[in-house]
Amino acid sequence: MRRSLLAVVAAAVLATSCQAPASPAPAPAPSAPRPPVRGDVPPRLALETGVIIVDTPQGERRFKVELAVKDNERQRGLMYRESLADDEGMVFFFERMQPLAFWMKNTFIPLDMIFIDDALRIVGIVESAEPLTTTSRRVPGLSRFVLEVRGGLSAELGIAAGQRVRFEGVPEALWSTSTATPAPLPPQGTP
């Protein structure tokens, strides 16, 4: 009896150890960055406002804009916004002309980024920047200001590189070329 019980146990152990290994569970599919839930969203910054006007061949295009002047205001930008009216935007102000790049981290809506030089001329446009990414967006050349508006609006309104802009209700010290800090000169090589 003992011998037959041992044979049954041995057969059970042998049968268990001979099974094919279970296939590993499939790896979870990569997911898009998780947008913050409402409780994670910090309160909106209280920014000064003004108007920027873009002169297009079809006429003036006016935008009520928030003014992002300080580092923390520029870093926050339009993050966490769920909508932006067609006549609204944000202008980012910098002290001097420089290569500028922006990303869309924690930005829920596509945006057009309109890069402007210190002569108040549009240098270039990044159209419909994809939301919720950290991909760097830029245009060739130097800029001093960036206007962000709803994605696709530039094309709809005929806004293009080379057009001029002007400000209303925005302190001149923020945009005047006489107050701009010149960009540093590149190092000179030795002869």
Domain assignment of residue 133, given as a range: 46-179
pLDDT at 21 over 60: no
In a domain, 66, yes or no: yes
What does the pLDDT average to over 29-42?
58
Q: What is the mean pLDDT of the chain?
A: 83
In a domain, 10, yes or no: no
pLDDT at 23 over 50: no
pLDDT at 14 over 50: no
Q: Give the chain's domain count.
A: 1
List the one residue out of 49, 41, 109 whose CA is nearest residue 78: 109
In a domain, 128, yes or no: yes
In a domain, 130, yes or no: yes
In a domain, 17, yes or no: no
- Of all residues in the chain, the percent with pLDDT exceeding 70 is 72
The pLDDT value recorded for residue 113 is 98
CB 124 within 8 A of CB 102: no
Cα–Cα distance measured from residue 52 to residue 8, given in angstroms and rounded to the nearest whole number: 87
In a domain, 13, yes or no: no
Q: Tell me the per-residue pLDDT of 61-98, one tens digit each, with 9 for 90 and over.
A: 999 999 999 999 999 999 999 999 999 999 999 999 99
CB 166 within 8 A of CB 53: yes
Q: What CATH number has the domain bearing residue 85?
A: 2.60.120.1140
In a domain, 25, yes or no: no
